[in-house]
Amino acid sequence: MNNNFGFYISQIQVYGSLVKPATLSFSKGLNVISGLSDTGKSFVFGCINYMLGGGDIPKEIPEGYGYSNILLEIKTFSDKTYTLHRSMKGGNFSLKEVSLDKFMTQGISRELKSQHTGSSENISSFLLALSGFNDLYVKKNKNNEKRELSFRDIAKLILVDEERIITEKSPVYSGQFTDQPQEQSVLEILLTGKDAKGLEQIEDVKVFSSKIKGKIEFVDNLIKDLSDKLLNLEKENLIEKQSELQTKVDSLSIILSESSDRLSDLTKEKQDTFNSIHELRSKNILQEELLNRFVLLKEHYQSDLQRLEFITEGEEFFSQLNTIKCPLCGGDMDKDHYDCIIEEGKKSSSIIQSIEIEIEKIKNKLSDLASTMIQLEAEKKERNALLTDFNRHFDIINVQIDSIIEPVKSSTKQEIDILISQLSLIKEQDVLKEQLSSYYKQKALLEIELARKPQVGELSKGIGYNIYQGLCKIIEDILRRWKYPNIAAVNFDSTYRVFDIVINNKNRKAHGKGIRAITYTSFVVGLMDYCILNNLPHPRTIIIDSPLTTYHGKESNSAEDISRDMQEAFFLDLSNMALNKQLIILDNKDPNEALIAKINYIHFTGDKQRGRQGFFP
């Protein structure tokens, strides 16, 4: 058997900056803190609950003025020591694996969130791990919705205050009706070790019905919209107009096709005309450049001709001169001089002849050049005439395209689009009718589904009555040792509303406050013993406020439901508690002197002059 599950509280200390710390020490087994009212017992309970993840800050009392922080030392049954720190104003925890007296000076601090979250760094996950609960889930409701187990679920069965101890409700229930399914699930985890992780979630009947009704309402709106649209289309008699519309579309399609073909032809003709215009303009540019060059060539020829004609005219003037003295020797122009002159004359005559020939060539070239230029001018004139015709034709084509073909094509296309839109509405009617039929089919299926409704999950699943009976046997043995009067049998009423032990065929809530308190105590102690006996997870520490002195509010405590013999048997039995668990009792009642030596006993006298006055120094 594994006795390492759980932990026990070894010390609690409340301290402040200007006050003396208030400290209590506890041990394994039975711990009793007794004393009169208003000595701090309930405050101690509140501090322990607060340090085990409770959300309620310990109530303020006059004696607590100046105290601001709490330290709680806990030890596991595998001999590990931890100290938790928390401000009395709320907030997260600080955790160190050291003893309480070394918390301020030693160890590495680890922050734990006060709320159970997805992260393991929270007080709930830390305490669950110490207690042996790992990755478990609680069934939240009858539809098997789940959530993670929190230590506060377990705390309801190990921390019992003076008001809850006398409740008429089940010890398993906290009082909220909506919490009952998950509180039963927590008991199932404790008694069987099985959680709700594997349960298949079932949709809530009300949520399911609302969802289906919402879908039906949505489909009804769609049906109404479609029906109205179909009715409007029907009023336009489009089906009767379908043939007429189609004939118009066909006729206009022919016109559109002809217009498109004519546009295609004109576009090609326009392109050809443009190409011809471009070609003629290019030739004009080329010939214009050629004429410019011919003009320059003509000027060059004329210049050469003028130069040659000047030479020939000079020769004629020289031949008309009279014989004179030889300009070389000054002598008479005799035969020798004449021979020289004749020879030079022959030479001169040969040059002149060549020049005249060249002049004739140039004149011939000028004549050819003039003919060519006349021809080029004639061709240019002819091209310009063609260019004028082509430009005129190009403009006519543009006018035909822009003013006739394009407007006809555009208007025809618009008319066709309008007609096709009207025809599409006729086809849309058929589609809308099919869609409307589909919506009615969906609605019929939803009505069937709404009538079917989802299956309701089991209220409590997995706890066999033999398990309840095993727990009841332990509780019965406890009550016999506590000298419960005339006990014959203890059973468990698993009815959803009751879910509590029945003693001698009488429900626990049918008894007075004192019996309800003692039987409540027997239930939580018996549950702890059952878990230990069956090696099941459990914190193995229980703190109970006033199990013997019942809470009467403002009433007197003089009327007791618990006999003196039963009180003594109660303390005697618990004083023999094994050291693999812990029970802390806070009560006005004291065990007898013989038992005090066997247990961890702390008494608050309420008197400054005698013993320990109360929790605070």
Q: What is the mean pLDDT of residues 114-123?
A: 85
What average pLDDT does range 281-290 have in this prediction?
83
Structure tokens belonging to residue 244? 């007429």
Burial 223-237 (b: 16+ CB within 10 A, else e): beebeeebeebeeee
DSSP codes of every residue in 547-588:
SSS---TTS-S-S-SS-HHHHHHHHHHHHT--TTSEEEEEES
Rounded to an integer, the average pLDDT of 117-136 is 90
d(CA 51, CA 113): 12
**The overall pTM is greater than 0.75:** no
Q: What does the pLDDT read at residue 557?
A: 43
- CB atoms under 10 Å from CB of 10, counted, come to 20
Query: Considering the chain, what percentage of its residues have pLDDT values greater than 70?
Result: 85
Q: Is the pLDDT of residue 3 over 70?
A: no
Measured between alpha carbons, how far is residue 283 from residues 326, 373, 437 in Å? 66, 15, 76
Burial (CB < 10 A; 0-12, 13-18, 19+), residue 119, is exposed
Domain segments of the chain as ranges: 7-202+458-604, 238-432
Residue 26 near residue 9 (C-beta atoms within 8 A)? yes
**pLDDT value of position 322:** 54
Question: How are beta strands 110-112 and 137-139 bridged, if at all?
Answer: unpaired
Question: What are the beta bridge partners of residue 545?
Answer: 586
Nearest to 39 by CA among 499, 602, 531, 482: 602
Under the banding of pLDDT at 50, 70 and 90, the label for residue 106 is very high
Q: What is the pLDDT of residue 340?
A: 54
Domain covering 7-202+458-604 in this structure, CATH number? 3.40.50.300
Kindly list the strands in the beta sheet with 7-15, ordered across the sheet, starting from the edge strand earlier in the chain.
22-25, 7-15, 69-76, 81-87, 93-96, 110-112
Regarding predicted confidence, which is higher, 159 or 247?
159
Rounded mean pLDDT, 88-98:
95
What average pLDDT score do residues 338-359 get?
Answer: 66
Whether 448 contacts 534, CB under 8 Å: no
pLDDT of residue 587: 95
H-state helical runs in 117-237? 123-131, 151-155, 180-192, 205-235
- Band of the pLDDT at 69, cuts 50, 70, 90? very high
d(CA 273, CA 392): 10
Task: Give the model's pLDDT for residue 397.
Answer: 81
Residue 585's nearest CA partner among 572, 573, 571 is 571
Strand partners, 111: 94
Is the CATH number 1.10.287 carried by domain 238-432?
yes
| Total residue count of the chain as it appears in this document | 617
Q: How confident is the model at residue 459 (pLDDT cuts 50, 70, 90)?
A: very low
Lowest pLDDT segment from 1-5, 191-195, 290-294, 319-323: 319-323
Residue-wise pLDDT for 404-437, tens only, equals 777 777 777 777 777 666 656 566 667 777 887 8
